[in-house]
């Protein structure tokens, strides 16, 4: 748990701020907080390309519509987001305008990132904005994102964006100053972790959420984001967004917040997309032999190792692979067959595939190059 922080030169940075930081109960988007954030970003912007991921649309819309509390129904939340998003952007326009920084609104859904063509579009748009010297401000497209196409929280979204633009660092600014061994408001012995090598299950258990009415994610989603960022080779820091100058201090290498180390064996962009951007469209359970061949010997998945097929997917879509005790998900990959074909060839030896399908097709269900062990 004590890896040294390794921040090389940070040229591309993604900063995520939660609703709790940029809004205030009853008023929504809070100009003084947004002003302070803009000043902090302006102070470190020289020589860097920065993307801001900001929540706060629903909280702002809730206040603007005069609702007593955050709405519960999805259409009402979406309506609040529509009202709040423009009000929020208006505040960002004004705040960054004082520092001569132009902003651009980018609204994404999980679908925009899960479809390979749309993923590349989103990436190219962000890169073009950065090229123009614009500060992209990203949020989930709440007005159209119903559950199935939602990332759900901006912590995970910010990790996807960091991966998308190959960021050198992802900073999550939040209400707490890092990850603690226990809830510091309850346990005075709780200790803040300075660095985390890997988000193990033990680390993930530290995230006991308080159920804050404004913050959507809490620690659990921050740790999911840390896993995604690590796999993408992007270091991540959780730090307090309440202290002015935090971004400067982070970039100066001060040991503030909690640092999450990136994985050394960084996945390539396409594999990252397979592993994290896409909600899997089906699940294949494999036998022990296939599990070992895939995880230890670097083999492709063949029909003979598949014991169960769940879901209705097309060839070319991403599926999850389950295996071992408890049938845990251990890999994801792009399948060469659709679900109906796969049901016909499940358990078959390679030389039986053609006969069972009635035509010649692939030997592998998932080729090694399209497979990511998680
Ligand atoms: N996209 C939501 C909003 O702007 C918030 C999601 C989050 O806070 O993680 O209100």
Dump pLDDT digits (tens) for 239-281.
999 999 999 999 999 999 999 999 877 777 788 888 876 789 9
Structural domain boundaries of the chain?
12-271, 280-373
What is the distance in A from the centroid of ligand 1 to the CA of 355? Answer: 52
Q: Which helix (H) or strand (E) element contains residue 12? A: strand 12-17
- 305 secondary structure, DSSP code: G
Ligand 1 contact via 61 beta carbon (within 6 Å): no
CB 304 within 8 A of CB 349: yes
Q: Which helix (H) or strand (E) element contains residue 171? A: strand 169-174
For 65, counting Cβ atoms within 10 Å of its Cβ (0-12 exposed, 13-18 middle, 19+ buried), the class is: middle
- What's the pLDDT at 188? 85
Ligand 1 contact via 141 beta carbon (within 6 Å): no
Ligand 1 contact via 18 beta carbon (within 6 Å): yes
pLDDT higher at 128 or 266: 128
- What's the pLDDT at 183? 78
Ligand 1 atom index nearest CA of 18: 8
Ligand 1 contact via 140 beta carbon (within 6 Å): yes
Q: pLDDT band for position 147 (50/70/90)?
A: low
Q: Which residue from 28, 108, 211, 216 has its CB within 8 A of the most atoms of ligand 1, so it is best to mutate?
A: 216
**The token pair that represents 104 in the structure block:** 């651009």
**Separation CA 222–CA 209 (nearest Å):** 11
CB 87 within 8 A of CB 61: yes
pLDDT per position as a tens digit, 89-106 = 999 999 999 999 999 999
Nearest to 165 by CA among 204, 120, 220: 120
What is the distance in A from the centroid of ligand 1 to the CA of 247? Answer: 21
- The mean of the pLDDT values for the chain is 89
pLDDT higher at 43 or 180: 43
Ligand 1 contact via 229 beta carbon (within 6 Å): no
**Separation CA 19–CA 140 (nearest Å):** 13
Ligand 1 atom index nearest CA of 142: 1
pLDDT per position as a tens digit, 335-368 = 999 999 999 999 999 999 999 999 878 889 999 8
pTM score, whole prediction: 0.79
**The token pair that represents 62 in the structure block:** 């809730």
Helix (H, G, I), strand (E, B) or coil at 369: helix
Helix (H, G, I), strand (E, B) or coil at 25: coil
Going by CATH, does the domain composed of 280-373 fall within 2.30.130.10? yes
For the beta carbon of residue 337, count every other beta carbon within 10 angstroms.
23
Q: Which CATH code is given to the segment(s) 12-271?
A: 3.40.1160.10
**Separation CA 120–CA 262 (nearest Å):** 23
**The token pair that represents 114 in the structure block:** 């899960």
pLDDT per position as a tens digit, 175-203 = 888 998 887 778 888 889 999 999 888 88
């Amino acid at each position: 748990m004590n890896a040294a922080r390794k921040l090389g030169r940070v040229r591309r940075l993604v900063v995520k701020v939660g609703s709790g930081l940029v809004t205030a109960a009853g008023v929504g988007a809070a100009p003084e907080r947004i002003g302070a954030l803009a000043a902090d970003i302006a102070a470190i912007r020289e020589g860097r390309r920065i993307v801001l991921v900001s929540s706060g649309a629903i909280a702002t819309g809730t206040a603007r519509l005069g609702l007593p509390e955050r709405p519960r129904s999805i259409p009402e939340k979406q309506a609040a987001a529509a009202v709040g998003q423009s009000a929020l952007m208006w505040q960002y326009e004004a705040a960054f305008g004082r520092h001569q920084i132009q902003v651009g609104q980018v609204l994404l859904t999980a679908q925009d990132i899960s479809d390979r063509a749309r993923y590349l579009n989103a990436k190219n748009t962000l890169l073009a904005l950065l090229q123009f010297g614009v500060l992209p401000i990203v949020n989930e497209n709440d007005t159209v994102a119903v559950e199935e196409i939602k990332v759900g929280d901006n912590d995970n979204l910010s990790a996807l964006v960091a991966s998308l633009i190959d960021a050198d660092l992802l900073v999550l600014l939040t209400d707490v100053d890092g990850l603690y061994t226990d809830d510091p408001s309850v346990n005075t012995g709780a200790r803040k972790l300075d660095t985390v090598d890997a988000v193990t299950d033990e680390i993930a258990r530290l995230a006991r959420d308080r159920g804050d009415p404004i913050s959507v994610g809490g620690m659990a989603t921050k740790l999911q984001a840390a896993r995604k960022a690590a796999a993408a080779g992007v270091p991540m820091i959780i730090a307090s967004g309440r202290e002015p100058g935090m971004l400067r201090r982070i970039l100066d290498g001060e040991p503030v917040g909690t640092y999450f180390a990136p994985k050394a064996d960084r996945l390539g962009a396409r594999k990252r997309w397979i592993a994290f951007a896409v909600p899997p469209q089906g699940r294949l359970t494999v036998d022990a032999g296939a599990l070992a061949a895939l995880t230890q010997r670097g083999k492709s998945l063949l029909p003979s190792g598949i014991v169960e097929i769940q879901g209705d997917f097309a060839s070319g879509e991403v599926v999850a692979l389950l295996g071992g005790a408890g049938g845990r998900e251990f890999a994801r990959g792009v399948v060469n067959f659709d679900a109906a074909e796969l049901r016909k060839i499940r358990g078959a030896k390679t030389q039986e595939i053609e006969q069972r399908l009635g035509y010649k097709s692939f030997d592998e269900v998932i080729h090694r190059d399209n497979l990511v062990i998680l």
